[in-house]
Amino acid sequence: MNNFKFTKDMTIIEVLRQHPGARDVLANHGMGCLGCMGATMETLENGARMHGINLDALLADLNHLLEGQEA
């Protein structure tokens, strides 16, 4: 059983590496700087705060990507 969840402390690049759909989720929430150098060090929490994004909603949508992946 896979208990992996996206968390506020993950860097943006870690999120992008975990699931191919994460890019679309982040972009849909208004986080458009996915290719910038800050993505390697900036956490989801910091990125959400800087872009005025609701962190709880962002995490819910990211973790929704994982539903159905457990084998």
Q: What is the pLDDT along the chain (71 residues), one digit of tens a residue?
A: 568 999 999 999 999 999 989 999 999 999 876 677 777 889 999 999 988 999 999 999 999 998 866 54
Q: Which residue, 64, 1, 2, 29, is CA-closest to 12?
A: 29
- Note whether 21 and 43 are within 8 A (CB): no
DSSP SS3 for 69: coil
Spatial CB neighbours of 38, under 8 Å, sequence gap ≥ 6: 12, 47
DSSP SS3 for 42: coil
Domains present along the chain, CATH in parentheses = 12-64 (1.10.3910.10)
